[in-house]
Structure 1
Amino acid sequence: MMGVFDVPARFLMETVSKDLKEKKTVIAPDFAPFVKTGAQADRAPQDPDWYYVRCASILYRILKEGPLGTESLRSYYGGRKNRGTKPHRHYKAGGKIIRLALQQLEKSGLVKKGEKGGRTISPKGQKYLNDMSRVASEAAKGYVKKVRVYKKASKADSEIRDALRRGKKEGEGKHDDAKNKKKKEGSE
């Protein structure tokens, strides 16, 4: 069985945000196309469906980190403000957007109020995210995580490196023999 954490988060967020929009589980407020996400932002988001992506992200974070309130989510979604020549400073995200998203997710039954404050994922929300992870796993099948492959150093390269190290300790000019040796190997 495919779980929420078995799928790359990018694919899960895309799937959940599309589903939230299509089923009208959450409805973007009228001011969403015009508002910035916080005081640190220069402009409103470019993506017209950014509100649904934010709701999906909030739902995922509540699942991942347990009971979360508006203030902790504001800190998470905040960012650094460009203050010109003054040093950068972290600003919190706007609270209205997060508060409205939490209220809509709670109204739809995906999250519930926690015993000690904040919001936690409800059983319905857990089932919803598990179902969406199965759908997202289909989209992620062609996804291959890029892995860096390092070229194994040749013997000439390691000799040059060793000669350079010795040259720094003993004096200059010791690495010329290793360079000439590599040139000879390359021309053969």
Structure 2
Amino acid sequence: MSTPRIANVFTVDPAELIESLAEKLKTYSEINPPLESKYWKTSCAKEFPPEDSELFWFIRSASLLRKLAIKQNLGVRRLRKIYSSNQKKGHNPSHSRPAAGKIIRRCLQQLEKAGLVNTIEGIGRKLTPEGQSLIDKVAHELHRAKSGE
């Protein structure tokens, strides 16, 4: 199978895209993990917070950008469902629990300050042209590096 000519969010490996986007987001001064975020769990179903909370913050922000590029107009409630996890209950059946809304909301607010995401009243959040351009540039760089090998 030949590699596609167009590089976008759909044609590159999601893990590589999120990792590269996280590195790009570190250059934005508006995107910083809050000091108290090292104590936050990502869901009520989780036992412990992430080991590296600073790295997690940039990875979650990059992942949110990718989700918004794939599915336009997502709100915090829908994103909580997307990032949900199963709660372990011993011998009892596990149940799905939504992700922490505060983390998602704070990431989206920082992405909005950086000019990458826009809020549409009553609908949710949407990528701005700058946000779409950033994702396309990173995808193009990954595609070029992969095809150059």
Would you call these one fold, judging by a TM-score over 0.5? yes
The residue type paired with residue 13 of structure 1 is I
| Inter-partner Cα distance in structure 2 for 1:111 and 1:51 | 16
Match of 1:108 in 2: 114
Distance 1:141 1:34, change over 3 A: farther
Equivalent residue of 1:39, what SS? Answer: coil
Q: Give the conservation status (yes or no) of the 8 Å contact 1:36–1:42.
A: yes
Distance 1:136 1:85, change over 3 A: same
Distance 1:105 1:83, change over 3 A: same
1:79-99 deviation line (CA, Å, top 9, x unaligned): 000012221000011111000
**Aligned with residue 44 of structure 2, among 39, 51, 60:** 39
Q: Give the conservation status (yes or no) of the 8 Å contact 1:15–1:135.
A: no
| Inter-partner Cα distance in structure 2 for 1:6 and 1:71 | 27
Stretch of structure 1 that moved more, 96-105 or 31-40 = 31-40
1:70-112 deviation line (CA, Å, top 9, x unaligned): 0011111110000122210000111110000111111111111
| Inter-partner Cα distance in structure 2 for 1:39 and 1:115 | 28
| Inter-partner Cα distance in structure 2 for 1:141 and 1:34 | 41
| Inter-partner Cα distance in structure 2 for 1:4 and 1:72 | 20
Map of 1:59-74 to 2, 5 A cutoff?
59-74=65-80
Identity across aligned pairs (percent)? 32
| Inter-partner Cα distance in structure 2 for 1:25 and 1:130 | 21
| Inter-partner Cα distance in structure 1 for 2:58 and 2:131 | 16
Paired residues in the alignment total: 143
Stretch of structure 1 that moved more, 60-69 or 113-122 = 113-122
| Bigger relative CO (Cα 8 Å, ≥ 6 apart) | 2
> 1:2 and 2:7 equivalent?
yes
Q: Structure 1-normalised TM-score?
A: 0.70
Structure 2, unaligned runs of 5 or more: 1-5
| Inter-partner Cα distance in structure 1 for 2:18 and 2:30 | 15
Larger Rg: 1
Equivalent residue of 2:90, what SS? Answer: coil
**Aligned with residue 105 of structure 2, among 96, 99, 102:** 99
Match of 1:57 in 2: 63
Structure 1, unaligned runs of 5 or more: 144-188
